[in-house]
Amino acid sequence: MPRKKRVWYPGAVYHIMCRGNHRQEIYRDEEDRLFFLTTLREVKENLPYILHSYCLMTNHFHLQVETGDINISQVMKRINMLYAIYFNHKYNFVGHLFQDRYRAELIETTPYHLEISRYIHLNPVRASIVERPNLYQWSSYRVYTGEQQDQLTTTAKILGCFAPPSVQHYRNFVEEALKYIKVKPKGDEADGNSN
């Protein structure tokens, strides 16, 4: 049976999640994560999209992506293909790196757009990797808080939803949820439904 086509239209925004096959690690060291971020940048130059937030875990990644005139399937196919080629070559790996297709959930309201950004940025806290989201190096949260700069993340749309000082209000929005997080046993990133 053919797969159901994903809903796409110019300007569509998605929460993308992609996991390693058999929940295996897709990032084994810092070089892998840096290569993945470079891949996101290179694909963005050729197949333009807006990256609102991201988080690279050990066995999966989250992206909050807004498309332009390029279908999300083309963007994700290119990102996953380039990274899989790199990974397979580096680790002499044979077979599929990623489990199934990536998951793409359409984001159609501003409150949900904000909630997904917070959800993505709190992933390392839920997985007990760090106690606070700004301590995790491999997400866009520190770009939002001004602790880090990159040429990849676009913060204007999300920060524009908060009154000045928008950075502080966004930080409060994200970190107020810390008291409600049910923390997993240290290093447990296996649940694809919650992470």
Q: What is the pLDDT of residue 188?
A: 52
Q: What is the pLDDT of residue 11?
A: 96
Q: How long a stretch of residues is the chain?
A: 195
The three-state secondary structure class of 65 is strand
DSSP per-residue string spanning 68-96 = SSS-HHHHHHHHHHHHHHHHHHHHT--S-
Domains identified in the chain and CATH numbers: 13-180 (3.30.70.1290)
Task: Give 63's strand partners.
Answer: 16, 54
Residues 75-106: pLDDT tens digits?
A: 999 999 999 999 999 999 988 999 988 999 99
Q: What is the pTM of this model?
A: 0.91
Determine contact, residues 58/23, Cβ cutoff 8 Å: no
Q: What percent of the chain has pLDDT over 70?
A: 92
Residues 180-189: pLDDT tens digits?
A: 987 766 555 5
Q: Is the pLDDT of residue 165 over 70?
A: yes
Task: Give 19's strand partners.
Answer: 60
Torsion of the alpha carbons at 20, 30, 174 and 79, rounded to the nearest 10: -50
Q: State the Cα–Cα distance between residues 68 and 143, nearest whole angstrom.
A: 22
The three-state secondary structure class of 113 is helix
Q: Is the peptide bond before 165 cis (omega within 30 degrees of 0)?
A: yes
Task: Give 67's strand partners.
Answer: 49
φ, ψ dihedrals at 101, nearest 5°: -80, 160
Q: What is the pLDDT of residue 19?
A: 97
Buried b (16+ CB within 10 A) or exposed e, 140-177: bbbbbbeeeeeeebbbebbbeebeeebeeebbebbbeb
Determine contact, residues 119/174, Cβ cutoff 8 Å: no
Q: What is the CA radius of gyration of the chain?
A: 16
Q: Which two tokens stand for residue 13?
A: 């925004």
SS (H, E, C) 9-46: CCCCEEEEEEEEHHHCCCCCCHHHHHHHHHHHHHHHHH
Q: Is the pLDDT of residue 192 over 90?
A: no
